[in-house]
Structure 1
Amino acid sequence: MNFIHPRKGRIGLDEMIAAIYAFIEGDRSAQYKMVIGTDSQTSHRGTLFVTAIIVHRVGKGALFFYAKQRSRPILDLRYRIYKETEYSLACMDRLKEKGFVGASMELPVEIHLDVGRKGETRKLIQEVVGWVTAVGYTAKIKPDAYAASSVADRFTK
């Protein structure tokens, strides 16, 4: 999986991790959290999934990357929301496989879900929030799910 940095372009997973470490080293006294969220856009040609990876230096800015994945058109809303959740969790798994989140760096992790109390997705909140919390992460929904509903959404257009 390749990631995209808004200014540097395409980079690999190892390069992204190195950039995150450098960002954190830039201010060791700051508080940080990692936020991952996925959004999707479906057209007759296919569904585009965009996963945003954000390292938030609380009160002092953020560093972000995103990854794109395409599939056949997915029209079923439940299935699409499940795929978005799956992609966010898979991204976190890839980071963990590389040893990124562990004893050397305890960053709080939030998974932002593109569901909210208004609209059709409200029926899915309990299911996807339950899934994310069952694997040990904090789940956020709209309007607090900015990684999915703002950052990732911006790159699905």
Structure 2
Amino acid sequence: MKNGTDNHYWFQNLQENRMSFEQVFHHIVKFMHSEPYGNYRLMVGTDSQVHQKMTLFITGIVILNKGSGVWACIRKVIIPWKMLHLHERISYEMSLSEEIVSLFTEERKKQLVNIVLPYLYQGASFSIEGHIDIGAGKRNKTRKFVKEMVTRMAAMGVEPKIKPNAFVASSYANRYTK
């Protein structure tokens, strides 16, 4: 974070443009307070696409209440050249996801956990996942990076998910990279 602030991060969704991370966090808190007994998964994932003169990276933040709705937004980062090396691109995707995950400080995570805490015995839950746009399948070119990227995400205290379970990166963020 620059100068101790997170205002250099701008997020958007279909309802709002140029949201600060504080605004994003407020939306997540509000969403969870609307049904504090829910089953929440906070997911962060990044995908990229190489275009003619640049590489576009989209990081998605999704808060899902299983069976009861979702709130989501994206952050767009443009690199003004074609990033053609797969490992470099996957690693940069990971760095962007790590940056956003790090904005969920211990204090913020505690605030989210405290929303569902009184309802744990009624089945409420909360988890944080890092969705990585890689797969372990034999035909997947990214399989050789799985261990490295999963280790990086786990080191942040976030549950790593790869394809086919990494839908925030492989579906949601991917939609905005085209």
C-alpha displacement at 1:43, in angstroms? 1.8
Q: Which residue of 2 aligns with 1:40?
A: 48
Q: What whole-Å deviation, never above 9, does each CA across 1:105-128 have from its counterpart, x for those lacking one?
A: 224110000001232111111111
C-alpha displacement at 1:90, in angstroms? 0.5
Q: Which residue of 2 aligns with 1:87?
A: 96
Q: Check if 1:114 corresponds to 2:133.
A: yes
CA distance in 2, matches of 1:126, 1:57: 29
- Corresponding pairs, count: 155
CA distance in 2, matches of 1:5, 1:44: 25
Q: Which residue of 1 aligns with 2:72?
A: 64
C-alpha displacement at 1:34, in angstroms? 0.4
The sequence identity of aligned pairs, in percent, is 31
**TM-score (normalizing by structure 1):** 0.93
Letter in 1 for 2:45: G
Q: What whole-Å deviation, never above 9, does each CA across 1:67-121 have from its counterpart, x for those lacking one?
A: 0001132110001001111111110112328x4212x222411000000123211
Q: Structure 2: any 5+ residue segments left out of the alignment?
A: 1-8, 114-125
Structure with max Cα Rg: 2
Moved >3 Å (runs of 4+): none
Q: Check the 8 A contact 2:48/2:89 in 1, yes or no.
A: yes
Q: Which residue of 2 aligns with 1:12?
A: 20
Q: Structure 1: any 5+ residue segments left out of the alignment?
A: none
